[in-house]
Amino acid sequence: MALLDLPTRQDYDALQAKLDAVLAFLQAQRPPAADELVSVERVAAYTHFDRRTVEQWVEQGRFDGRGKKVYLPAYQFSGRLRFKLAEVEAFGLGIGVLKPSLQPGGRPEPVKAAPKKSAKSAAVASEQALRVA
C-alpha cells in the first residue's frame, strides 16, 4: 500500500497543484536573508512605495539627508532587476523611507503607512436606489 493511494491521475495533479500553491505561499511569507536577491515587487512591498518609484531610485537616484545624490544598487538577471536586501535597507535608511527597528537585530521598518485596501460599495437593488427617504 502506497503512502498516498490516489485513484486517478487527476486526483494526483489536483493534490500536486495544492501543494505547489502552499509552497509558493510559504516562500512569499518567509523574510529574505540580507544577502538574498529580491525582486522589484518585493522591495516595493517592503518599503510601501510603488514599483515605479523603486525603479526611479535605481535610474535617477534620490538625495539623502546630507544632500548627496544616492542610487539604489541593483543587479540585472535575464532582464529583471534584483536587489540585495541589506543594500535596500541601507539605501532606505539613508534617504529616510525606512526607520531603524526598535528591537535589537530587527529589520528596519517603513516610514510610509501601508496602502489601505479600498472598500467596494455593495450593489443595491434598483428599487432601493430609487427610494427617497
Show me where the domains of the chain are located. 34-110
Higher pLDDT, 10 or 81: 81
Q: Give the pLDDT band (50/70/90) at residue 54.
A: very high
pLDDT at 72: 95
What's the predicted TM-score (pTM) here?
0.59
Q: Which residue has 522589484 as its cell numbers?
A: 40
Asked if 42 and 29 count as a contact pair (C-beta separation under 8 A), the reply is no
Higher pLDDT, 124 or 71: 71
What are the distances in angstroms from CA 111 to CA 28, 45, 64, 120, 132? 22, 13, 15, 27, 45
Q: Give the pLDDT band (50/70/90) at residue 3.
A: low
Residue 76, SS3 per DSSP: strand
Higher pLDDT, 126 or 88: 88
